[in-house]
Chains A and B, each alone.
Chain A
Amino acid sequence: MTRAAGSLRHQQIAFLIMAGFFIVAPLVIYPVFLMKVMCFALFACAFNLLIGYVGLLSFGHAMFFGMAGYATAHSAKVWGFTPELAILFGTASACVLGVLVGLLAIRRLGIYFAMITLALAQMVFFFCLQAPFTGGEDGIQAVPRGKLFGIFDLSDAKAMYPFVLAIFLGGFLLIYRIVHSPFGQVLKAIRENESRAVSLGYDVDRYKLLAFVLSATLAGLAGGTKSLVFQLASLTDVHWSMSGEVVLMSLVGGLGTIFGPVVGAAVIITMQNYLAQLGAWVTVVQGIVFVVCVLAFRRGIIGEIAHAIKKPL
């Protein structure tokens, strides 16, 4: 009990450091860049909820991220939704898509699960390529950020930043809460030994589906927010390479750690920023990072730190 309380304390301190960083950072770092990091951090945390705590590797999470982006952008631009409603609508779309995909994907395990999510995501990609409301290759451009609750104008980065920060921290705390809840404990039990969880009387498929839908929904929250930050929803966000990127972020930060995906997202986004002028070499570098992580650095950054201080982070 005391040990559990001790490790929770560590995580609380780490959370305060993270929150403090994102509050102070816009004074020295370009805010739009930070908002991008936060969106991807939330996306990676949502993805990690599935691989880290249920042991399911989704290779199609871009469909939730990108679809929510389209839904948010469309509702804000065409229907004139206020930003909070637009994001809510985007998140809800990702949730519905999550239920549909989840019902199919959890029927198989392991690498089949990965292949199925990848294939279904590709289907969503082709849907987005052809559907009239997505704008095809152009995407939905010049999405208005609008006025929060119809009052606060978000078009300035100074106003947008606290809004994104609140969404990121809210989403993060929700994931933290899920992981530490009795529900989260059951998920871990399923990851460790599925047949035993079944024999203990848990309806494993229902737990998996719920975890999948939660992960999809939170990925949608991240995608919807991102589309308002950049005022753009495009095919990039539903492409399979985006699904690969979020896997990479979680892997670099540490699969199954709470803070790993945030650090991983920050590292990968920073890397992309610095390497942007190198063109296709970015892909090569990402591939090399993948290979090195899998061969020699499987715990990831936060995983290594947690291992060194012997406390879960």
Chain B
Amino acid sequence: MDIFGIPTQALFGQLLIGLINGSFYALLSLGLAVIFGLLNIINFTHGAQYMLGAFVAYLLLNKLGIGYWWALLLAPVIVGATGVVIERLMLSKLYKLDHLYGLLLTFGLALIIQGVFRNEYGSAGQPYAMPEQLSGGRNLGFMFLPNYRAWVIVASLVICLGTWYVIEKTKLGAYLRAATENPQLVQAFGINVPRMITLTYGFGVGLAGLAGVMAAPIYQVSPQMGADLIIVVFAVVVIGGMGSIMGSIVTGFGLGLIEGLTKVFYPEASNTVIFIIMAIVLLIRPAGLFGTQK
């Protein structure tokens, strides 16, 4: 069976890869958006922290024998904790300055983290075995769906929507949104805004770590795995605009799908299609699809 001269197996296969990539774009851009909302910085370390999540999972398994499911819980907590330390020791010193300094600082941190791991593990990737429960797959008739990939898509959807729910629909989220609008006023109401900022950074970074664990069995665990990815995620963020949480989720999955389709119909452009879309969006809607120009 063919669609536009492309065998359906290949078409759906690439769409699946697109959805997987989209899951990671969504998780990472969600974290960036949450951090940006409250801290007003762009977290350049995000890619390194995603890599860190994968490495924590790898080390837990190989040094301590702790498997995937515990890693899924522990790695985000560990990565988030390092984020809390970074925020307390460094980022908190920069809030009164131009936001660009936050970008420069986190860029420097990314270089340090990636450099240290490259020294330790080289540039080659380390394999990370898939959890047994999710190995294998099922035949859907029109394509073969590996269980692990289905799990990644479902899990990241649940996490993204859960985050959206907490921020948009709960009291805690209301505090967060209020602090984004006017931190002084929220502080005056007796809410500890600095601690909220610290925990928000920890949470955003933890999301990156979680994405790293989920990515470990699909891509190899390598020190550079986050370096190029983060630039694509930046483009995703520019396209979506950082104004809305739902916006970054939708843009993340959507662009992953478009990238997958490009691989089928015009593979040469698959690396650049997201950047091209970014250029077009900037021409038509400079604030981004879901953003509001400040």
Interface of A toward B, CB cutoff 8 Å: 51, 57, 59, 104, 107-108, 110-112, 114-116, 118-120, 122-123, 126-127, 129-130, 240, 244, 247, 251, 279-284, 286-291, 293-295, 298
Contacts and interface: CB of A to CB of B under 8 A. Distances in A.
A59 B234 CA distance: 12
Contacts of A289: 108
A199 B283 CA distance: 25
Contact of B108 (A108, A119, A123, A287): A287
A288 B108 contact: yes
**Majority SS of interface residues in chain A?**
helix
Contact of A111 (B100, B109, B118, B232): B100
21 contacts: A57-B103, A107-B286, A110-B99, A111-B42, A111-B100, A116-B278, A120-B278, A120-B279, A122-B228, A244-B107, A247-B107, A279-B119, A280-B119, A283-B114, A284-B115, A287-B110, A289-B108, A290-B109, A291-B108, A295-B90, A298-B101
B69 to A, nearest CB: 33
Interface string B12-38: 000000000000000000000000000
Contacts, number: 117
Given A130-B268, A284-B111, A294 B105 contact: yes
A170 to B, nearest CB: 30
Nearest to A126: B271
A289 B97 CA distance: 19
Given A114-B103, A291-B109, A104 B279 contact: yes
B238 A290 contact: no
Contacts of B278: 116, 119-120
B290 to A, nearest CB: 14
B286 A108 contact: yes
B272 interface: yes
Contact of A115 (B90, B113, B237, B279): B237
Contact of A281 (B103, B109, B115, B272): B115
B112 interface: yes
A293 B100 CA distance: 13
A287 B111 CA distance: 5
The list of the 5 closest CB pairs from A to B, nearest first, reads A290-B108, A287-B111, A287-B112, A283-B115, A284-B115
Contacts of A294: 94, 101, 104-105, 108
A73 to B, nearest CB: 23
Given A115-B235, A116-B238, A119-B234, A295 B93 contact: yes
B100 A119 contact: no
Given A119-B231, A280-B119, 20 more contacts: A57-B100, A111-B100, A115-B235, A115-B238, A116-B282, A120-B279, A122-B228, A122-B232, A126-B275, A127-B272, A283-B111, A284-B115, A286-B108, A287-B108, A288-B112, A290-B105, A290-B107, A294-B108, A295-B90, A295-B105
Given A57-B100, A287-B115, A123 B272 contact: yes
A148 B279 CA distance: 40
Contacts of A247: 104, 107
A122 B282 contact: no
